[in-house]
Structure 1
């Protein structure tokens, strides 16, 4: 499928550079561009893209607030944050608000394309540098977090644990359905149940719990 993408950044030169990278992939089409957060919301409502790729620091409304509003207004849009800033507070806020990707402008262009593809199919993607920091923090937290995570997943059925393990490995609902010989709607129901039972907001948070519990499936 062709991924329809909304790109928002207040710097025209940055937008041109990002667009040039994305359009090297024939499966990605930039359908709209915004120069501020308010415009990004308006264009998301008008175009209903598969992915909204948003800078953080923009006039009128920053990318984090714009992303949260887009998720509320058009839940089918996968939001990814693209920024120079990898501050932990930004990452936490974006993921808590439902963003499924957090990418650094200083990263490898291939990460940008991989992230867009992951978000477009319902998966999650963190820039490797950010992911490494998150994993480092989990390790620093020690055994208590591992024990807590393992206790939490006891509330899941075995099938839900299977789904969680594959979700944490980066598979989309369709890919999980194929792997487990289920229909995609059933997988969607399991994911919803997992988030509810574990009191989580999104797939990235679920993936972190799975990593902590040590149940990742390759």
Structure 2
């Protein structure tokens, strides 16, 4: 059985103990460390620990102070953004969430906004955007950067259902129809039905094309 790991950041001094604590979660440790390095330079917040899977994230959030901010990548080791956000919003509604994604993962930005993320940040702009975003969250304001808002409002209304998003996210993770059916509690025939509908909505005729279009946000 794989051991759950929680990576601890530097100790918090008394001068910053009352500032909101920031937890960073992503499947890649190096991403957590990079974002954590930036967060540690922002005076309005304190850097907490890192998590790479849902179990370690739950442990951190359960012990987190009332004023906490979660910076969340699009995937943990055992779940994608939609699954993690649903858990956070259900079990830790007081936690403010910032979703960070690559430009090629814009579909996850769209999903994050729909599921109640307090803010979003593109990885390519993180050095300039994240300090401003955290500053606004500390003041109690949710914020969507102007360039992301323009991109969201200029696109066609998302035609995919929540279940279709879930299935596409599992396709991106490489799961087979059987594995998807087991994960979601559906029959394989139902999964095939959803896939047929997804292909029609995305105007594609293959699994690979659907994945490429979804990850790029081109739908």
**Which residues of structure 2 form unaligned runs of 5+?**
1-17, 158-219
Residues 25-40 of structure 1 aligned to structure 2 (within 5 Å): 25-40=42-57
Matching of residue 53 in structure 1 with residue 71 in structure 2:
yes
Runs of at least 4 residues of structure 1 off by over 3 A? 85-89
Among 33, 47, 70, the alignment partner of 1:16 is 33
Matching of residue 76 in structure 1 with residue 94 in structure 2:
yes
Q: Once superposed, what is the RMSD of the aligned Cα atoms?
A: 2.3
Aligned length: 139
Match of 1:166 in 2: none
1:28 offset after TM fit, Å?
1.5
Query: Residue 7 of structure 1 contacts residue 34 of structure 1 at CA under 8 Å; is this kept in 2?
Result: yes
1:39-75 deviations in Å (ceiling 9; x for gaps): 2233111214521110012211223321221121111
Among 20, 41, 60, the alignment partner of 2:58 is 41
TM-score normalised by L of structure 1? 0.56
For residues 86 and 100 of structure 1, the distance between their equivalents in structure 2, rounded to whole angstroms, comes to 21
Q: Check 1:89–1:14 CA distance in 2 against 1; reply closer, same or farther (3 A cut).
A: closer
1:85 offset after TM fit, Å?
4.5
For residues 26 and 96 of structure 2, the distance between their equivalents in structure 1, rounded to whole angstroms, comes to 17
For residues 79 and 55 of structure 2, the distance between their equivalents in structure 1, rounded to whole angstroms, comes to 6
Query: Residue 38 of structure 1 contacts residue 66 of structure 1 at CA under 8 Å; is this kept in 2?
Result: no
Between Structure 1 and Structure 2, the one with more helix by share is: 1
Q: Check 1:98–1:113 CA distance in 2 against 1; reply closer, same or farther (3 A cut).
A: same
Query: Residue 50 of structure 1 contacts residue 120 of structure 1 at CA under 8 Å; is this kept in 2?
Result: no
Q: Check 1:81–1:101 CA distance in 2 against 1; reply closer, same or farther (3 A cut).
A: same
Residues 58-69 of structure 1 aligned to structure 2 (within 5 Å): 58-69=76-87
Larger Rg: 2
